[in-house]
C-alpha cells in the first residue's frame, strides 16, 4: 500500500495562482464597471442640466408674459388644510448598497393628495406653467437616477478597496 501523500507546495501553487488570477479578473471587471458608471453619470448630469435649463427658460417666459401683477387673492395664504405630497422617496436595500426610489402617488383629494399646480389660491395656472412643472418633475426623476448611480459608484469603489486589502494586506491603502 502506498502512503497518503501530504499536501505539497507544488500542488498549492496553482490554486493560489488561479485564485489570484480570478481576483485580478474581478478587479478588472470592477474597474470596467466603474468606467461604465462614470460614463452613465456624465450622461445623466448632461441630461439633468439640459432639463433644468429648459424648465428655467419656460418659467422665465411665463414670468415675462404674465408680468409681476400681484392680486390680493394671490398674495393671501391658503386657508384650507395643507396638501400631502404626491411623491415619496423610499430607500431600498440591494446587494451592493441602498438605492432611492421615487414613488408617485395618485391624486386623491379625499385623502389630501392634491396637485397644487392646477389651482393656486383660486386662480387658474397658465398652461406654460404646467409644462414647466412637468419638466421639473422629470428633473426630480433625473436627480434620483443620478443619486442611485453615485451610490452604485461608491459601492464599487469600496468593493475595489476591500478586494485590494484582501489581496495585498501589506500594501498601504488609503
Give all strands (DSSP E) within 35-114, no chain letters.
87-93, 98-104
User: CB of 26 within 8 A of CB of 34?
Assistant: no
d(CA 140, CA 118): 19
Please state the pTM of the whole predicted model.
0.69
* Maximum CA extent, the chain: 106
- DSSP 8-state class, residue 98: E
The CATH architecture of the domain made up of 17-64+83-167 is: Orthogonal Bundle (1.10)
Residue 48 CB contacts under 8 Å (≥ 6 apart), including other chains: 139, 142, 143, 146
Write down the domain spans for the chain.
17-64+83-167
d(CA 9, CA 154): 39
pLDDT at 41: 96
What band does 53 get if pLDDT is binned at 50, 70 and 90? very high
pLDDT at 113: 64
**Residue percentage of the chain with pLDDT more than 90:** 27
Q: Is 83 exposed, middle or buried, given 0-12, 13-18 or 19+ CB atoms closer than 10 A?
A: middle
Q: Above 80 in pLDDT, residue 162?
A: yes
What band does 148 get if pLDDT is binned at 50, 70 and 90? very high
Amino acid at each position: 500500500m502506498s502512503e497518503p501523500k501530504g499536501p505539497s507546495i507544488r500542488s498549492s501553487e496553482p490554486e493560489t495562482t488561479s485564485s489570484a488570477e480570478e481576483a485580478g479578473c474581478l478587479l478588472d471587471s470592477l474597474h470596467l464597471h466603474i468606467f461604465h458608471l462614470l460614463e452613465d453619470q456624465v450622461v445623466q448630469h448632461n441630461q439633468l442640466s439640459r432639463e433644468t435649463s429648459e424648465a428655467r427658460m419656460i418659467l422665465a417666459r411665463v414670468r415675462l408674459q404674465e408680468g409681476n401683477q400681484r392680486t390680493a387673492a394671490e398674495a393671501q395664504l391658503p386657508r384650507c388644510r395643507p396638501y400631502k405630497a404626491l411623491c415619496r422617496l423610499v430607500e431600498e436595500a440591494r446587494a451592493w448598497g441602498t438605492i432611492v426610489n421615487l414613488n408617485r402617488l395618485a391624486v386623491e383629494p379625499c385623502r389630501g393628495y392634491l396637485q397644487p399646480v392646477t389651482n393656486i389660491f383660486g386662480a387658474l395656472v397658465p398652461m406654460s406653467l404646467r409644462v414647466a412643472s412637468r419638466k421639473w418633475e422629470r428633473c426630480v426623476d433625473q436627480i434620483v437616477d443620478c443619486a442611485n448611480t453615485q451610490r452604485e459608484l461608491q459601492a464599487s469603489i469600496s468593493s475595489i478597496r476591500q478586494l485590494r486589502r484582501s489581496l495585498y494586506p501589506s500594501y498601504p491603502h488609503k
